[in-house]
A and B are shown apart, each in its own frame.
Chain A
């Protein structure tokens, strides 16, 4: 317990230190993404720490959450809907129908014919699906491509997108889990790695959905805009009383607003995760993780439980992804990279302590802090190293340029050190 409190105090001190030494804006930026990272780490910890599922497709589920923000909160584009909305929906329903038909055919038909039947259904279905979808997509993307060119969203409050992002990620996870969860650890890892790449490819290419690489910018915000705050005399006066100028105060207030919202979500999720961990269900999950055969002999349905926790963990990642996109105010599919959104989350979980929810949260904050701060620290070190070299020398320029790559190296080294010397993480499972 003292260890837990001590380590969390350390993280708090690091973030406060950033506030005092650099700026409070930087401190809040780290805090906000730290909160989001902590939720992602909670999700991965649920899967890996509690159930031993090796999911390296976190990036994909985070991106699905981001997509949810666009689909929920952006204003709909009526012209695009008129041009091809119902046709696209119809084509997608048809596509789902084809998959369902193929699965049914596989289950219902006899051994000899089912392979051919499934092949025929999927091939014919694929061409029919493309024939239905393509003209509708062309029509939608032709509507004012510079500004919209997509269907838009539902125009609902953006906060709704967070739970919906979780639900959407859960839906995707269910479909993936149904096919891939029978596989053992290494294969599941590679399968999820592929799924994540495919989800990103879909986001980048299906312009009708969320504008692809043209990005959706100007997403609605759950907190006020800085400009509005600066125009509000009451706010300016309060800021003045605190000794801040209106501009700084407004940026801080907005970030603080996000921090409060995110903290609320994290606290609720953490409490739920702790309750789940201590419940009979949590004990069952750990029993399955530690010995699948024994758990199966006790009458536990291992595959179903795995599916359940896979879906839950992915839902958390999706929710965190929605929160992150809301914080950014834009959906930019080009920026999703597996090192940053999948493997970094894994570093958080392993370093924090897999199987321990508080550990995952701690890892989320700590690793995120390092991810951000390694660059300035590296800059400092590199300046020391190169201080003796002549100005303008190629080596010096190259070394100073390379500082930005220090963070990958550092993360790898941290992960390896923790695995070697504290394999159960900073806060080990009890």
Chain B
């Protein structure tokens, strides 16, 4: 019984939150990694692209809520995601046309594009705050819990409760669908294959008649979709605040690099590695150990390896370790 309790506690505080967070990071990292694979630079504006797409979705959600349209137990924001994606797509395509295309034609060095993306980051950041302001926005509605801690206890008779928020379950499901669609697209469709060809060998792809501008446009569209979905899921799970999205840049980059930048499978693995380490290292293990160990060995302190405020340090340390010992990432990505 104690072992069951221990694992339920672990699931409640580590596994379920980390699965949801990992899915959000994986979707974010997929966007970063696609940009890197096709456009060949690290996009510092990705966090703010997420914020912008989410903001569009939040505004649409409010509109739907005001009109009385909802999904019952599911959050209304799900209906608003297409609007968010459209908003983000318009923004990134306009940016590409006005800004990035010029540097592509110049064949500018990747580091110049990174600096350009810093400028874009400022602009997006300003735009998002301009429209919705810098404050926290709550847009989640619908049923709060799939199963609450109390129901779980009554159901199983265990001392520990396992609460699964609707948004957490939703995050994992939506992320799974999105990733499946993405991989189907990349591996099965003509456009997807041309994208992979372009990423592998640009000259050869051009030679075989692939239109580079089309590849770039499709990439931006996919990135807009991934960023918005990741952003909306994160916002539903926690809350929407532009600055938090900017800060997500670090774990997202860490996830993309740890997995092997330019490699979509790696981005997903990286997302979960970062999420599980972050949650695991900042979790107070006292409860788990108390169930697990004999009473004489029960720990006195919280057994929290690092305080939650150091979660950035976790992504960073993993990032550095991977970069030092396996610079191509866990899955073989491109080396910068």
- How many angstroms from the CA of A66 to the CA of B247 in the assembled complex? 22
Contacting pair A401 B316 (CB below 8 A):
no
Taking Cβ atoms with an 8 Å cutoff, the residues of B that contact A are 41-42, 99, 102, 110-112, 114-116, 118-127, 129-131, 133-134, 243, 246-247, 249-250, 253-254, 257, 301, 305, 307, 309-310, 312-313, 315-316, 319-320, 323-324, 327, 335-336
Contacting pair A184 B130 (CB below 8 A):
no
Contacting pair A416 B116 (CB below 8 A):
yes
Against B, the Cβ 8 Å flags (1 = close, 0 = not) of A123-166 are: 00010001000100000000000000000000000000000000
Contacting pair B114 A343 (CB below 8 A):
no
Taking Cβ atoms with an 8 Å cutoff, the residues of A that contact B are 52, 54, 126, 130, 134, 179-180, 182-187, 189-191, 193-195, 197-198, 201, 204-205, 337-339, 343, 346-347, 350, 401-402, 405-413, 415-416, 419-420, 423
Q: Chain A residues near B319: list those with CB within 8 A.
A: 190-191, 194
Contacting pair A343 B121 (CB below 8 A):
yes
Given contacts A184-B335, A190-B253, 11 further A-B contacts (CB under 8 A): A54-B111, A186-B111, A187-B327, A187-B336, A190-B319, A193-B250, A201-B312, A343-B121, A402-B131, A402-B133, A405-B126
Contacting pair A187 B126 (CB below 8 A):
no
Nearest neighbor of B252 in chain A, beta-carbon distance? A190
- How many angstroms from the CA of A410 to the CA of B130 in the assembled complex? 12
- How many angstroms from the CA of A408 to the CA of B309 in the assembled complex? 26
Q: Of the candidates A186, A409, A423, which one forms a contact with B336 in the assembled complex, judged by CB atoms under 8 Å apart?
A: A186
Q: Chain B residues near A179: list those with CB within 8 A.
A: 320, 324
Contacting pair A189 B42 (CB below 8 A):
yes
Given known pairs A402-B130, A402-B133, A412-B120, the reply for A346 and B115 (CB within 8 Å) is yes
Contacting pair A194 B42 (CB below 8 A):
no
- How many angstroms from the CA of A412 to the CA of B125 in the assembled complex? 9
Q: Chain A residues near B112: list those with CB within 8 A.
A: 419, 423
Given known pairs A187-B336, A405-B130, A412-B119, the reply for A194 and B307 (CB within 8 Å) is no
Contacting pair A198 B42 (CB below 8 A):
no
Contacting pair B110 A415 (CB below 8 A):
no
Contacting pair B315 A194 (CB below 8 A):
yes
Contacting pair B123 A194 (CB below 8 A):
no
Q: Chain B residues near A411: list those with CB within 8 A.
A: 122, 126
Interface-central residue, B99, B122, B327, by most chain A CB under 10 Å: B122
Query: How distant is B110 from chain A, measured CB to nearest CB, in Å?
Result: 7
Contacting pair B115 A412 (CB below 8 A):
no
Contacting pair B129 A405 (CB below 8 A):
yes
Nearest neighbor of A200 in chain B, beta-carbon distance? B312
- How many angstroms from the CA of A179 to the CA of B321 in the assembled complex? 10
Nearest neighbor of A406 in chain B, beta-carbon distance? B126
- How many angstroms from the CA of A205 to the CA of B111 in the assembled complex? 34
Q: Chain A residues near B102: list those with CB within 8 A.
A: 420
Q: Chain A residues near B247: list those with CB within 8 A.
A: 197
- How many angstroms from the CA of A411 to the CA of B124 in the assembled complex? 11
Q: Chain B residues near A347: list those with CB within 8 A.
A: 119, 122
Contacting pair A402 B320 (CB below 8 A):
no
Query: How distant is A15 from chain B, measured CB to nearest CB, in Å?
Result: 24
Q: Chain A residues near B133: list those with CB within 8 A.
A: 401-402, 405
- How many angstroms from the CA of A411 to the CA of B123 in the assembled complex? 8
Contacting pair A198 B310 (CB below 8 A):
yes
Name 7 A/B residue pairs within 8 A (Cβ), A-sorted. A339-B125, A402-B133, A405-B130, A406-B126, A406-B130, A408-B126, A415-B115
Given known pairs A350-B115, A412-B120, the reply for A186 and B42 (CB within 8 Å) is yes
Contacting pair B320 A191 (CB below 8 A):
yes
Given known pairs A201-B312, A412-B119, the reply for A193 and B249 (CB within 8 Å) is yes
Contacting pair A194 B254 (CB below 8 A):
yes
- How many angstroms from the CA of A363 to the CA of B121 in the assembled complex? 20
Contacting pair B111 A197 (CB below 8 A):
no
- How many angstroms from the CA of A14 to the CA of B16 in the assembled complex? 56
Nearest neighbor of B127 in chain A, beta-carbon distance? A409
Query: How distant is A58 from chain B, measured CB to nearest CB, in Å?
Result: 12
- How many angstroms from the CA of A184 to the CA of B126 in the assembled complex? 30
Given known pairs A186-B42, A412-B126, the reply for A205 and B315 (CB within 8 Å) is no
Q: Chain A residues near B99: list those with CB within 8 A.
A: 416, 420
Contacting pair A201 B309 (CB below 8 A):
yes
Contacting pair B130 A194 (CB below 8 A):
no
- How many angstroms from the CA of A409 to the CA of B305 in the assembled complex? 40
Given known pairs A350-B115, A412-B123, A412-B125, the reply for A186 and B110 (CB within 8 Å) is yes
- How many angstroms from the CA of A154 to the CA of B307 in the assembled complex? 28
Nearest neighbor of A130 in chain B, beta-carbon distance? B305
- How many angstroms from the CA of A154 to the CA of B228 in the assembled complex? 51
Contacting pair A409 B110 (CB below 8 A):
no
- How many angstroms from the CA of A171 to the CA of B134 in the assembled complex? 36
Nearest neighbor of A423 in chain B, beta-carbon distance? B112
Query: How distant is B301 from chain A, measured CB to nearest CB, in Å?
Result: 8
Contacting pair B122 A339 (CB below 8 A):
yes
Contacting pair B312 A198 (CB below 8 A):
yes
Q: Of the candidates B119, B131, B316, which one forms a contact with A197 in the assembled complex, judged by CB atoms under 8 Å apart?
A: B316
Contacting pair A190 B320 (CB below 8 A):
no
Given known pairs A405-B126, A412-B119, the reply for A185 and B320 (CB within 8 Å) is no
- How many angstroms from the CA of A407 to the CA of B305 in the assembled complex? 40
Q: Chain A residues near B323: list those with CB within 8 A.
A: 180, 183, 187, 191
Nearest neighbor of A338 in chain B, beta-carbon distance? B246
Q: Chain B residues near A338: list those with CB within 8 A.
A: 246
- How many angstroms from the CA of A78 to the CA of B99 in the assembled complex? 58
Nearest neighbor of B242 in chain A, beta-carbon distance? A405
Contacting pair A197 B118 (CB below 8 A):
no
- How many angstroms from the CA of A402 to the CA of B135 in the assembled complex? 12
Q: Chain B residues near A182: list those with CB within 8 A.
A: 324
Contacting pair A415 B42 (CB below 8 A):
no
- How many angstroms from the CA of A423 to the CA of B112 in the assembled complex? 10
Nearest neighbor of A350 in chain B, beta-carbon distance? B115
- How many angstroms from the CA of A347 to the CA of B123 in the assembled complex? 13
Q: Of the candidates B257, B301, B307, which one forms a contact with A187 in the assembled complex, judged by CB atoms under 8 Å apart?
A: B257
Nearest neighbor of A180 in chain B, beta-carbon distance? B320
Q: Which 6 pairs from chain A and chain B are nearest by CB?
A: A412-B122, A409-B126, A412-B123, A408-B126, A194-B316, A415-B119
Query: How distant is A278 from chain B, measured CB to nearest CB, in Å?
Result: 25
